[in-house]
Amino acid sequence: MKDEDKLQIGKFLFMLINSFFVILGLSLFGASVWILFDTTGVITIVSNEADVKVVAGGLFVIGLVVVGVSMLGCFGVYLENRCIISLYMGFLIAIIFGELFITFLLLIKQNQIERFLTETVDAIISTYGVNNTQTTWSLLDRVQKSAKCCGRQNASDWEKNKFIQVQNTSDIYPCSCFNGSCPVFLSNEMYQFGNGSFIYTMGCEQKLKDWFETNVLVIIGMDLALLMIQVLQFILGFLICKNIGSKNKARHAENLLDAMENPASSSDPHQNDLEYYHPNINTYDPQVYDAYNQEQTGQTFYQDCDLQHHYQPNIHTYDQKRNDGYDSAAQNYDQYESQVYQHHSGPEHNHNFYNPKPEDDYIQHADPSYEQYYEQHYQYNRDLN
């Protein structure tokens, strides 16, 4: 598989995983808002207002970090910028170590958290119906109804309730402890107590412990799953950086080859003069040379016609002015031919353009115009002699 194909597959998987984490971060934002405004939730009831704000603020910061880091990784991969991807990988390593620390702390503090829940339930039972913490009463009522339990250890825990202690009647319990209909006692109060013996006998402590252990296992499982996904993200980021580096090296090598094959032309005017006198064989245009031959052939033709018109075989005089013009044209032609031959001398520069004959000490051009010029030049010299 080519490096480009590997890069595209890695980018697709990287974008897909980071999109999941963006959604997760936005969910943490929503959870922080829910904790702040929900007054009947478990966290709100078992904690004071300051603790709730700390939890909500922590979730808000975590959501912000998750969304920011995920967007940074997507942006770096889209631009194929190795620096941004390396920065993303650094943040990812910090998050991984943070999650490991939280998981380790949760395992160590498990007994302490269970003890905190036990103390919280005892405090709620003691103040049930006495103060204005009605939300805590509602939470305990829902726990006892859903778990079908009464008190922390058993129903006798309600004897510690301050309201029940001032009553002269026995078998008074909250209506949530009754297994069936509740015989209401003191119905004019904001809270409802019942008087009877048809209650749940099992305490809620074991139910709470089972609930907490189940949720701890769920939290640890989710944390480990996130760690595995983040390790996969780190591996994908490393491979993408490597493929981007290989792609940049290949592109740099291609640019060097292009620069060597197509060098930039010089801006030096003296260099242009040298190129005029020493043209490149690859850019040499034979049509220019043929046009020059045709021009010289035309001049020779008109000169021959003029000489034949004024030529007198019995007279050995001729027009010196016309002969000088002819000699000048012939000399210019020979000079041009000599310059071109000096540049293209050697068998490697012939390309069927020259046919060297060392025995004649000159270069004969392959164009028929050269043969015509040579024959006319020979005929003219013979007539003169």
Tens digit of each residue's pLDDT (9 = 90 or more) over 125-142: 888 877 666 667 777 888
* Mean predicted confidence (pLDDT) in 291-312: 49
Query: Is the model's pLDDT at 293 over the cut of 70?
Result: no
For 111, counting Cβ atoms within 10 Å of its Cβ (0-12 exposed, 13-18 middle, 19+ buried), the class is: exposed
* Mean predicted confidence (pLDDT) in 272-287: 46
The C-alpha atoms of residue 333 and residue 297 are separated, in whole angstroms, by 11
Looking at residue 89, its pLDDT comes to: 92
Strands (DSSP E) contained in 293-341 are none
Percent of the chain whose pLDDT exceeds 70:
59
Lowest mean pLDDT: which of 26-40, 123-137, 303-317, 331-345? 303-317
Cα-to-chain-centroid distance, residue 146 = 50
Q: How many helices (H) and strands (E) does the chain have?
A: 12, 5
* Mean predicted confidence (pLDDT) in 351-370: 46
pLDDT grade for 281, boundaries at 50, 70 and 90: very low
Looking at residue 132, its pLDDT comes to: 61
pLDDT grade for 278, boundaries at 50, 70 and 90: very low
Looking at residue 91, its pLDDT comes to: 92
The C-alpha atoms of residue 228 and residue 234 are separated, in whole angstroms, by 10
Looking at residue 40, its pLDDT comes to: 57
Query: Is the model's pLDDT at 363 over the cut of 50?
Result: no
Give this prediction's pTM: 0.52
DSSP-assigned states of every residue in 144-213: HHHHT--SSSSGGGGGG-HHHHT-S-SSEEEGGGBSSS--EESTTSSS-EEE-S-B--S-SHHHHHHHHH
Query: Is the model's pLDDT at 31 over the cut of 70?
Result: yes
Phi, psi dihedral angles at 331 (to 5 degrees): -65, -40
Lowest mean pLDDT: which of 103-107, 296-300, 335-339? 296-300
Looking at residue 287, its pLDDT comes to: 52
Looking at residue 284, its pLDDT comes to: 47
Angle among Cα 187, 191, 192 to the nearest 5 degrees reads: 50
Q: What is residue 363's three-state secondary structure? A: strand
Query: Is the model's pLDDT at 159 over the cut of 90?
Result: no
Query: Is the model's pLDDT at 349 over the cut of 50?
Result: no
Lowest mean pLDDT: which of 216-225, 256-265, 360-369? 360-369
The C-alpha atoms of residue 244 and residue 80 are separated, in whole angstroms, by 7
User: Does the domain made of 114-207 have the CATH classification 1.10.1450.10?
Assistant: yes
Looking at residue 47, its pLDDT comes to: 53
92 near 230, Cβ under 8 Å?
Answer: yes
CA proximity to 43, closest of 125, 145, 113 = 113
Q: Which residue has the higher pLDDT, 106 or 95?
A: 95
pLDDT grade for 50, boundaries at 50, 70 and 90: low
The C-alpha atoms of residue 29 and residue 137 are separated, in whole angstroms, by 29
Q: Which residue has the higher pLDDT, 48 or 151?
A: 151
Q: What is residue 282's three-state secondary structure? A: coil
90 near 230, Cβ under 8 Å?
Answer: no
Mean pLDDT across the chain, nearest whole number?
Answer: 72
Domain ranges in the chain are: 3-112+220-254, 114-207, 273-384
Q: Tell me: the pLDDT tens digits for 194-240?
A: 888 888 888 888 888 888 788 778 878 888 888 888 899 999 999 99
Looking at residue 264, its pLDDT comes to: 56
Q: Tell me: the pLDDT tens digits for 170-190?
A: 888 888 898 888 888 766 556
Looking at residue 85, its pLDDT comes to: 92
The C-alpha atoms of residue 158 and residue 122 are separated, in whole angstroms, by 9
Q: Which residue has the higher pLDDT, 50 or 277?
A: 50
